Structure 1
Amino acid sequence: MSTPTKVPLGSLPLPLSSHTLTKNLTPDRTAASPKAFRQVQHSQPSTQRRARLLSPETHFSYVAPNPLPFPFKIVPEEGEDVSPANQAELIERWLAAREALQEKDITERSNGLRLHFPAGREQPRELIGLSETGLRDCLPHLDVGDAFDLLGLPRLTKDPTNEEPQETENPARRELIDILSGYATLINVEEDVDKSWAPWSLRYSGHQFGTWAGQLGDGRAISILATPHPSNAELTYELQLKGAGRTPFSRGADGLAVVRSSIREFLCAEAMHALGIPTTRSLSLISLPELPVLRERIERACVLTRVAPSFIRIGSFESLNPPESMFFLGGGQQEKDLEALRILGKWVGRRVLKLEGIKWREEGQAGDAWGRQLVLESARRNAKMVAGWQAYGFMHGVINTDNVSIMGLTIDYGPYAFMDVFNPYHICNHSDGEGRYSYQAQPSVVMYALRSLLTSLSPLIGAENALGNKAVSPGWAKDMSDEQFAEWRKQGNDLVLAELEDTFQDTCAEEYRRLMHKRLGLRRIDLDDESKLIRPLTSLLAEHRLDFHSTFRRLAYFKPSLVDSPASTGNLESSKADFDAFVESLMALTPEPQMVDTFKAKIDWKKWLEKYSERIESEKGLWDADEDVDLQRERAMRDANPRFVLRQWVLEEVIKKVEQDTKSGRRVLGKVLQMACSPFEPWGAEDNLSPTDILDDEVLEERRYCGIGEQQMLGFQCSCSS
């Protein structure tokens, strides 16, 4: 594949209008176009900063980044009229001065966009992280200038050269930081709809901890750009800033993010991708060191840029057909808008999920029904996602329906955790007192979200069925009676619910089996593997308090010859000693040996390893006969079981280092990102684990970062503000 031509961020090509969310969905009526939005920015900027209920048909609101402390501390200029009659005007002038309204470079770019800056908001901004893998996979045509040089050599220990990178003027890097920090905005207000452009935030609703919460929406997320991948024009990536200021969906919050939470998402999104689990991606981290943010303590603001083909959630559908007669927490809820539901569903089915085999309805022509297929495709994708979570011990922490992607991407990393000592009941979010989102409950709560999606789309599915499996037409629900709505809703639910549950459960089980077989180095799937091998293994881990990931990695070095008869090994005592030594090495993977019944653990492990050995031996013919089978299986298992895991103690240490000293801390952050993006590599000279070997400081630190960590950090719970 040819190397794409690299261009600065503001010059990235825009998608076709047919592939652009803002050209196909309905904006907030207070600013129905980029041109109208620009006028709002000049004359009434509080409109986009004030939490409010949007009209029922709305899918999104135009809103530009503007990271400011909240509540706003508005100080009038000397001599300015502050009488009650003029206070509203004073607020608008104060906000307008901080909006990005000034053009410094009037040269129109090839994509038609222009860069605008604020006159009264000069914020120091410091690049602290840039994802090479996110850049390579999603935006290979983006020119970041000398950004990687500025970040310095990724290292866990001090650079022996003691060289600090010197910042020089670099237009591409400067533009990258200006835009991705929320300081500058890309916008075009031409009458030509194909060229017009402005940033936006999505409206959605959702169930939070099982309770209907009314309108939610992107309270601190703003999508600033979308661009097609240079090798596939059908694949468009959105760039979204998280923590860039208030939107109409912020409710009482400040719209900001802090260094701590931003580092957690920045690292984990790329770590999840490296493990093969569907996820949004990370691009950059930019600190705003002089912008204070109040969480549990005063912290520094930070803006994360994340990337995905779409950030639409199940809650986006729920907002357009909310559940009836439900008590909800929140600022309010609009009436349903079934035409807006049709518009969103058709867009998602055609351009986001790219449903196959459907003749889409065009003006004056009939089209195929799509509602049922949309629900089932989202179920398949989310089933694969949550199977990946379970196989790799990932816990999301807050699987509210507004945090479940329609594409089945892991999204909104908050109080997440990777499993340490295996415990199926573990709760990683200390706000989840009832364990709704515990590790073992994750598949069922994702299924709950998918049922909510079906509930939202069920009247449309029922109407499509009544039309003989044809798509509904524009205005399909205009004169619908309450009785007709109830009938179609019941029909749609009855038609799809059983199939939805079967599709989800079967897909999740199949993907989980596939991943667990991969982790165990097995090439054939037998129907009784789960009952004879997988469940007994996880029960062993839980009962004897063993570390989840270290145990799987250690099993890569197991050889069936360790349990062979003396006749095959030639030495009874040697064979028994080697087998016992391997069992001991597994038992050493508990950080709490005082809690383990050693005698029982040895017996249990020996029984399981004997079954595992038999299962491995039965597959000898499935490997390359010209190469050592044990070595092939070891390599396959090392490629499936991470040496490095993004544990809570690692995250806390990286965050502390960045908060204490940004320049040295961002080198550590960069190295941990490298390890997270290549988790299967033998970090810390894993192949040579003798304690007497002389290793340099960097390798020793890699080895420490691959460890379980201090006992007090095991099972560490985070807050939702994480």
Structure 2
Amino acid sequence: MSNATAPIKRFPISSLPLPPATHLVTHALHPDPATPSVSEFRNLLRSSPSTLRRSRILESSAHFTYVSPLPLPFPYQIKPEEGEKVEDQMAFVEKWLGDREALDEVPNVGGGKGNGHLKKLASKNREYYRELIGLSETGLRDCLPHLHVGDAFATLGTPTLAHEFDDEDIPTASDEEQAIRQELVDVLSGHSVLMTGQDTEDGVTAFGPWSLRYSGHQFGVWAGQLGDGRAISILSTPHPSDTELTYELQLKGAGRTPYSRSADGLAVLRSSIREFLCAEAMHALHIPTTRSLSLISLPHLQVLRERAEFSSVLTRVAPSFIRIGNFEAMNPPEGMMYLMMGGAGSGEQKSWEGLRVLGEWVAKRVLKLGGESDEPWGKKLVFEVARRNAKMVAGWQAYGFMHGVINTDNVSILGLTIDYGPFAFMDVFDPLHICNHSDDAGRYSYRAQPAMILYAAQALLNALAPLIGAEYASSPPSAVKSGWADGASREKIEQWTQKGKDEVEDELRRVVVDVCGEEYGRLMHKRLGLRRSDKSDEAEVSRPLLGLMEEHKLDFHGTFRKLCFFRPSWILPNNTTPTAPSDLDAYISALLSISPEADRMDKAKAAQDFKTWLTKYGNRVQSERDLWADGAEDEESVIQLREKEMKDANPRFVLRQWVLEEVIKKVERDAESGKRVLGKVLKMACSPYDPWGGEGDETTPNEELEPEIREERRFCGLGERKMIGFQCSCSS
């Protein structure tokens, strides 16, 4: 660990330090035989680049493929220039692609060679307009504080919802600041590529961009090889305060890889904005997640989804992007059929050695489970991944987040929320809500999410079961060694598999249920402002509250935020304050008014139901009065302390669907002004507990507010009724 008080030295992106080889996934796992090394990968880019752009089933033991970004529409429009004669069509295709691969070394910022190891490569045929429209200050601060971004924030302008800054006087930055920013945009848009020259160069770690191979179950059906079809990890760098912690920078939407199947490997601006904002919003809610770094628009590159849309490249950051599907690729289910580019495929091969190598890397390097070198790790790995994801999904449930597509290939081994697609935050509370309109059966509904995490944990166990069984077949149990399954008969593998399941299966369910339940209870106590945990709290406090929200169609987040202002004194039997009953009635009236169905509900019944619940809740709060005193003598100090803690657990601003749709439209319509709105919404999402929109002064009419405050208040609301419960598609 470095001295935390020492100033952090910042580097342009081409000069960021690389981790040692032992910390790089490409040095630990098995490469695609087509790209066995960085130097051979670079040679392939020159001789046969189509190998990296064609979809193909990889050799069974391969964990990854070296591949560089190539943001081009697909199918590629490969045709000769007017008058050009093509004698060898395949050679022409290879040359056309090769001309567009980043193979020409260009100077790093300052004309040097970056950190002395990384080289910056580009292509003269890659000229396309690229515009930075988003940069996450929190993602940069937490994950990459040593990355110099030049004048990037200045070029994005002042974040705002309501003001026009067409004539904003942005100070002219130095040539160096501008060059650092431009290099950042070039690399994070996929225009330029960073890699080393040779596999070994004076002891330098060989480095090149890569995509991971994984398989998975999609909507409960085996889908075969999937892999990172549009995600390419372009860099890995150690955190300056902890060199054991490395962060990968991954481009999403940077072009085809061998795992793209029939897709184009690109991402639309709409989906990229959603992930860019939501990853940072989730972090602000203290829910484990991948992080966002940048969003770059490629407005001249159109792609087709439900409609023709602009393309963009999102940079996301995480210590690792390995998922449960990576393990399933090493041990696919027996006898399964899957679809590959319109045709049926079957008979995927297993790789027992690939399973061992991947598992050892994840257990010891990624999860850092520790233990002696010969200690069995398979069982510990399954339980640790299950615990992390159970804790994550508890956060989803407590904050009304719905992922939309919890396929096993979308479940991180680190327990991070990953692959934001048709996600949504709950509006009106409905435990059966389905945020993905492609999910006809409701497999990934809000209520089903914990069960789907258990399903994914079971899929991980199924993949690792034979290895775990082999570990526990010895006495004492010990880690398997290289070649552990060589020569093992089918019957032996089946015996190991059953033994592995017997070792883990029953306890696995208990671990997921217990960890999820405990974490959910902890978070709900924070949201309800309760410091003591009673066994009856769920049955008598939290569950009845959710029932009232569902019955009377109340806004999930708005209700919790309103509870921050509740006063237990309003319901105490010895309260003789003449205004108390009217205070309680006014409070309940305000609470019910946040429902989009306020004009349709039975207000008398709803008011009585909430009065009954608030009486029980108020007594429960008052029962732990001494726990809140904290040395405070007067009641008002206790009330203020509790209110502050509740506000710090219940967001004022929520990244609702209508907010996302409005931001997307503004950016699509005019990127120059839209990126300012995007920046302001990002700022609100990163500080969701702040009193945006002048909260606490709701008596001031909207028309009397400053335009910016008025817009903040609007963005903290439910939006139009037609957007309540808005569903997205998988391409979102």
TM-score (norm 1): 0.97
Alignment partners' CA distance in 2, 1:441 and 1:391: 14
Task: Please say if 1:452 is aligned against 2:479.
Answer: no
Alignment partners' CA distance in 1, 2:403 and 2:485: 37
Residue in structure 2 matched with residue 363 of structure 1 by the alignment: none
Q: 1:131 aligns with which of 122, 136, 141?
A: 136
Residue in structure 1 matched with residue 308 of structure 2 by the alignment: 298
Residue in structure 1 matched with residue 446 of structure 2 by the alignment: 439
Q: 1:584 aligns with which of 585, 589, 608?
A: 589
Residue in structure 2 matched with residue 516 of structure 1 by the alignment: 524
User: What RMSD in Å do the two structures reach over aligned CA positions?
Assistant: 1.3
2:95 alignment partner, SS class: helix
Asked if the contact 1:152–1:164 (Cα under 8 Å) also holds between the matched residues in 2, the reply is: no
Residue in structure 2 matched with residue 329 of structure 1 by the alignment: 339
Asked if the contact 2:216–2:329 (Cα under 8 Å) also holds between the matched residues in 1, the reply is: yes
CA displacement 1:38-96 (0-9 Å, x = unmatched): 0000110001100000000000000000100100001213443324xx11101100001
Map residues 187-198 of structure 1 onto 2, 5 A cutoff.
187-192=195-200, 194-198=204-208
Alignment partners' CA distance in 1, 2:322 and 2:535: 37
CA displacement 1:645-692 (0-9 Å, x = unmatched): 000000000000000000000000000000000000000010211134
Amino acid in structure 1 at the alignment position of 2:533: I
Alignment partners' CA distance in 1, 2:64 and 2:529: 47
Task: Please say if 1:307 is aligned against 2:317.
Answer: yes
Asked if the contact 2:572–2:619 (Cα under 8 Å) also holds between the matched residues in 1, the reply is: no
Alignment partners' CA distance in 1, 2:291 and 2:444: 23
Asked if the contact 2:235–2:248 (Cα under 8 Å) also holds between the matched residues in 1, the reply is: yes
Residue in structure 1 matched with residue 563 of structure 2 by the alignment: 555
Task: Please say if 1:264 is aligned against 2:274.
Answer: yes
Map residues 165-176 of structure 1 onto 2, 5 A cutoff.
165=170, 169=175, 170-176=178-184
Q: Percent identity?
A: 59
Deviation at 1:626?
A: 1.3
Amino acid in structure 1 at the alignment position of 2:18: L
Residue in structure 1 matched with residue 494 of structure 2 by the alignment: 486
2:133 alignment partner, SS class: strand
CA displacement 1:440-479 (0-9 Å, x = unmatched): 0000011101000000000000000012220001011111
Deviation at 1:579?
A: 1.0
Residue in structure 2 matched with residue 25 of structure 1 by the alignment: 29
Deviation at 1:629?
A: 1.2
Residue in structure 1 matched with residue 14 of structure 2 by the alignment: 10
Asked if the contact 1:59–1:202 (Cα under 8 Å) also holds between the matched residues in 2, the reply is: yes
Map residues 225-374 of structure 1 onto 2, 5 A cutoff.
225-330=235-340, 332=345, 334-356=348-370, 358-360=371-373, 367-374=374-381
Task: Please say if 1:64 is aligned against 2:68.
Answer: yes
CA gap 1:535/1:69 in 2 versus in 1, 3 angstroms: same
Alignment partners' CA distance in 2, 1:191 and 1:376: 37
Give unpaired runs (5+ residues) of structure 2. none
CA displacement 1:574-618 (0-9 Å, x = unmatched): 221111111111111210124422222112101110110111001
Alignment partners' CA distance in 2, 1:671 and 1:321: 46
Q: Please say which of residues 704-713 and 690-699 is displaced more in the overlay.
A: 690-699
Alignment partners' CA distance in 2, 1:285 and 1:308: 16
CA displacement 1:407-445 (0-9 Å, x = unmatched): 100000000000000000000000000000000000001
Q: Please say which of residues 168-177 and 466-475 is displaced more in the overlay.
A: 168-177
Deviation at 1:161?
A: 8.0
Residue in structure 1 matched with residue 424 of structure 2 by the alignment: 417
Amino acid in structure 1 at the alignment position of 2:239: H
Q: 1:180 aligns with which of 178, 188, 192?
A: 188
Residue in structure 1 matched with residue 103 of structure 2 by the alignment: 101
Q: Please say which of residues 189-198 and 210-219 is displaced more in the overlay.
A: 189-198
Residue in structure 2 matched with residue 213 of structure 1 by the alignment: 223
Q: 1:54 aligns with which of 43, 46, 58?
A: 58
2:330 alignment partner, SS class: coil
Residue in structure 2 matched with residue 671 of structure 1 by the alignment: 680
1:29 alignment partner, SS class: coil
Alignment partners' CA distance in 1, 2:576 and 2:138: 46
Alignment partners' CA distance in 2, 1:155 and 1:660: 16
Task: Please say if 1:662 is aligned against 2:668.
Answer: no
Map residues 471-510 of structure 1 onto 2, 5 A cutoff.
471-510=479-518
Amino acid in structure 1 at the alignment position of 2:86: V
Deviation at 1:160?
A: 6.2
Asked if the contact 1:272–1:279 (Cα under 8 Å) also holds between the matched residues in 2, the reply is: yes
2:651 alignment partner, SS class: coil
Alignment partners' CA distance in 2, 1:415 and 1:179: 28
CA gap 1:302/1:164 in 2 versus in 1, 3 angstroms: farther
TM-score (norm 2): 0.95
Deviation at 1:164?
A: 5.8
> How many residues get paired?
710
Alignment partners' CA distance in 2, 1:111 and 1:538: 58
Task: Please say if 1:201 is aligned against 2:211.
Answer: yes
Asked if the contact 1:320–1:456 (Cα under 8 Å) also holds between the matched residues in 2, the reply is: yes
